[in-house]
Structure 1
């Protein structure tokens, strides 16, 4: 199905460090996009081109947001193949940028706003890098996952990290090893997680820590998308994994370089429970109208 003679909708294109999205306003939840329609919209040859779709909908208008009365707006995020995702760290910053620019919300310095997600309402504030989101409590899981990827001479162990969605983080010894990866091919995981996982490949800086801030470089393969220029939750997971490997003396602040730019990660307690925070820029690029592909 590539016929685009259906309903015409308005959209905005945005990105967070190169992780790009088609943003569609649907405040009252009247738009029901099929997986195929999303796939066409995100196609970089036949559509607008994006890593995913952000549907701007009021929490009360979507079943997943019905129990979030303090979050007026819900980020309905779908991957480029139409599959749903629990959370998107870059997407939620772009989502807030859209809400602010469209005049749908206001956010002053020092103020916090809640945005609904499938991983619960997420608090957001302004930061020096743009916006910061509290991704919530995280879990570094026991055991290892064996990762095979094109460009890796041998399979390597990966650490499972859950930041509201699942990740497997693999440490590599050098920048050359990172650059040699061919992520046009899906990395293979053993055991394979039931719902799949994003896979991050990381190289620590040398030295790892300067002025109390850890630094790493990363590439990512996102489930349902492929390699992207950036993955916000993946950045957080990668920093948490290296922090775990570094041991008790590891810092709580991290700078993570991805192909699309630099993002910040910090770990801090909230009500006595360690939370992971992600900060970075969010940019709106252009707006327009597009005809939806007809339903199959």
Structure 2
């Protein structure tokens, strides 16, 4: 989950048929008509509230989102997933971070949404999902009728400063306009890192910081002036067990896992010669492991990981 650009205006519900843009009704089961059904999902501890929003009418204002995501006075989550109709794909995902900002893309969230789509809508082992970062293709691994692992084609990593976006006018970039293994100043301190977009901005550093330094740097770097839309920040390192990372997620804070962050970190590691191309590279996050493969032509990043439903319930005070 990562904050970013908003989307103005509600779309009219799709009325047609065809392979895409099918019209679904919100599942009601035995719930009261005046209550709204929700589902709670998690991927590596990165947790979400999912709302079926087929007519694009569910509240998305900051007050509503922050209230539901509050872990003491609400349901509690890192963000809200809105499952919507799409004329371009099987469905659409809109995601709001726990601070009320909208995200372009969320790797853990889209795996959870794919599981929900399989469990409640259509038993398809491959689905397409429209997002602000583009249309994603997801392959679900089915065992005993359950979809608990999903592989996502996250699309190609975007590396040019203008694509991230990042203001690199006074910074060293390579011949392609990429910011790779170069320094930015944070409170007068030079920090070396790489900028990557996986549909949302990331800054990855392999500097050997102490935990207490990381705790302070995360929120400072998220709002660095070089990133007009803010940025996610990954503090990556290697130990005897391989690659690991801590993620300060834009619009959320420290999270147990971040799917786009895992992809961006592997991209940075591959580009700087720390990991190989064309194989699944394991990355350890606080909440567990993800696997990411990056082809040498940089045509896509493939992420594999779990998705679980935790519980479902109803919201009475809409």
Q: Deviations over 1:160-191 (max 9, x none)?
A: 011111100010337xx357632696133654
User: Please, which moves more after superposition, 178-187 or 154-163?
Assistant: 178-187
Match of 1:123 among 112, 137, 155: 137
| Structure 1 runs of 4+ with >6 Å offset | none
SS in 2 for 1:121: strand
With structure 2 as the length reference, what TM-score do the two structures score? Answer: 0.74
Q: Gapped runs of 5+ residues in structure 1? A: 1-6, 61-67, 208-214
Contact in 1 for aligned 2:218/2:233 (Cα 8 Å): no
Contact in 1 for aligned 2:278/2:295 (Cα 8 Å): no
Counterpart in the other structure of 1:162: 197
Counterpart in the other structure of 1:289: 314
Counterpart in the other structure of 1:105: 122
Q: Deviations over 1:57-107 (max 9, x none)?
A: 1114xxxxxxx1xx12101111111111111000000001111121x1222
SS in 2 for 1:92: helix
CA–CA distance in structure 1, aligned partners of residues 288 and 215 of structure 2: 20
Counterpart in the other structure of 2:226: 192
Higher normalized contact order (CA 8 Å, seq sep 6+, divided by chain length) = 1
Match of 2:152 among 116, 133, 140: 133
Say if 2:305 is the partner of 1:280: yes
C-alpha RMSD over aligned residues: 2.6
Q: Which has the higher strand share?
A: 1
Q: Gapped runs of 5+ residues in structure 2? A: 1-33, 143-147, 161-177
Counterpart in the other structure of 1:41: 68
With structure 1 as the length reference, what TM-score do the two structures score? Answer: 0.79
Counterpart in the other structure of 1:50: 77
CA–CA distance in structure 1, aligned partners of residues 218 and 267 of structure 2: 25
73 and 168 in structure 1: CA distance in 2 versus 1, 3 angstrom threshold:
same
SS in 2 for 1:278: strand
CA–CA distance in structure 1, aligned partners of residues 288 and 274 of structure 2: 27
